[in-house]
Structure 1
Amino acid sequence: MLFDLPSDDLLYAALVARDPVYDGFAFVGVKSTGIFCRLTCAARKPKKENTVFFPTVVGAMEAGYRPCKRCRPLALHSERDPVVSVLLERLESEPEKRWSEEDIKALKLDPSTARRAFKRQFGVTFLEMARLRRLSRGIDVIASGDNIIAAQLEASYESGSGFRSAIARLIGTAPSRARQLQFLHAHWIETPVGSMLAVADSQSLYLLEFFDRKGLPNELVKLKALTGSEIIMQKNPVIDRIEQELNGYFSGRQIHFDTPLVQSGTLFTRTVWDALRTIPLGTTESYSSLAAMIGHPSSTRAVARANGANQIAIVVPCHRVIGANGSLTGYAGGLWRKQWLLEHERRMLLGQPGE
């Protein structure tokens, strides 16, 4: 089922043209809606910067996207297998249901047959796909600005530990299964604007992202490949340090972050990230002024892309970059968070937090 995807330019052209050549072999996730579609979907086409492409429906669902109700990407496979068709229809009508083999039997279907059919078509079992569907509902809740508990309940997990363990299975390796190899540590950090995931080795921070950022699991897969490491859900001193600094920032006591960072990217991208860290707290810059700041005044779009590729939120303050007209735009953590952070920093500058 897996193959190397063509370039994003080629896939986006196929999406715009509704070219059926990639139907079933490539899917598009729309960042602004959280939905993934076939490339032949008749819905209005998103802007290219709002798209991400996947070779499988499971890849899209693991990244937190839910299937489009218009083009029904899951139906590509169900049309050829009645067992798959029946179960997918029930899954879409009851996405919050905690499915079991007994539920499958109640539909007069054989669980072993269903398991083999889904494994053959999607590479995962029906029960695994149902868990992915519930997780995407939880991610939707967090994306709306709600808290981790509400997201956990929306995903039909009875306990927070169960919900977090499910996420951990998507993005990392259990500590008990870690080998004596190089590995990175990951841990949840709770903040007033939602849970953040921190990833670090024994010396530096590699990633600090909001839980609901679309594609976070894929970012972690790429990080593991880049570093040749496994990721285990466990604290370490670097994570303790950034957690303390974040607590100071949100309480209004800490302006600067001193945790060492590791940032992978091109020289241009790293230059943009370095420039971001020079924007004073309580102030903002436009993409064009940031481009001028680094000596590339004609590279506004490239600066915007580099800004969006930042994987260390708040510490590398990409939220301080706004549109030329003063509008809040282009923040993967959500515009409501961007507004909250800028207002918080304005109040810090005035000495209001903690009064």
Structure 2
Amino acid sequence: MEVLVLGAGNVGRAIAYDLSKDFEVWVGDKSRERLNAVEDFANTIKVDASDFNKLVDTMRKFDLIVGALPGKFGFATLKAAIKAQRDLVDISFMPENPMELRDDAEKAQVTIIVDAGFAPGLSNILLGRIYQELDELKEGIIRVGGLPKIAKPPLYYKITWSPYDLIEEYTRKARIIKNGEIVEVDPLEKIEKVKIKDFEFEEFVSDGLRTLLDNIRAEHLEERTLRWPGHLEKIKVLRELGFFKPENIDFTLKVIAPLMQYESDDFSIMEVYGRGTINGKEKEIHYFLYDEAKEGFTSMARVTSFTAAIIARLVAERSCVYGVIPPEILGMRADTFTRIINELKERGITIERW
């Protein structure tokens, strides 16, 4: 089977590396420099994701597609896979609602797994398992962070992804479930301290629930993103002073982005918590993950790409139905959940439960 990985960034490179053990892998990107970095374990092909028709034609040459492109290309990638009638596993954080394409995917008889990375992705899978085990879910909290080991002042954060996407986390309204209803909240309205294991963080409410808003019934459900103490208050001041307004953001990032670019290994941390009932009795379930950079891959690339690669294997085996499938559905299937967790463990990513 020939697999095309779209995008040769840190995550796309790690996906291709993992899949190359079992498939003939091709990596598509418009940058020859990025493609050169994967030639030791994958074939390469120049692809311009902004050319829809050429993207469709390229997809038709392969059996399975894995999308690791920036979010702005995500929805078009889904449409292209449907038109090409090729299965797709995608990790891009697209602004559009991918579930709008569910009927089109079913008619084309293709399987598309969306949000198949770390968070959203693995976070959904873990919450889906909790939801399936409980008779009723009263509260669900996802806490997640990708952080530098060294918290360097003045902003105590290292950028490993798009600076514009980072700032959008602080300006875009976050959707949560409160009292059983979907509501929008200011992400920085409530900055709280939290201790997880031996770590002390600050957290804010982030807009990462996405498909969970429609597929999980709960009284209260939210995602909170973790930062080192001292970061969020400074970010909030900059936002309130207008530095993140569209007309100012380019200038602002020229000033602050270099302050968040320095040498430090990263780590990934996630806690997924659910509280509800089983047979009328109160029950709490916790999942916890901690991972560090290894074997030339950042931790965030590992937890994102390995999750996607494992899901891609499931799709290659025809283990999923046609349509657009959110990752929480995978977590609700006990056998699929167990396989994902076990395969992550084989790659050195252990998930604790208590």
TM-score by length of 2: 0.26
Larger Rg: 1
Q: Is the helix fraction higher in 1 or 2?
A: 1
Q: Is the strand fraction higher in 1 or 2?
A: 2
Structure of higher RCO (CA pairs closer than 8 Å, 6+ residues apart): 2
TM-score by length of 1: 0.26
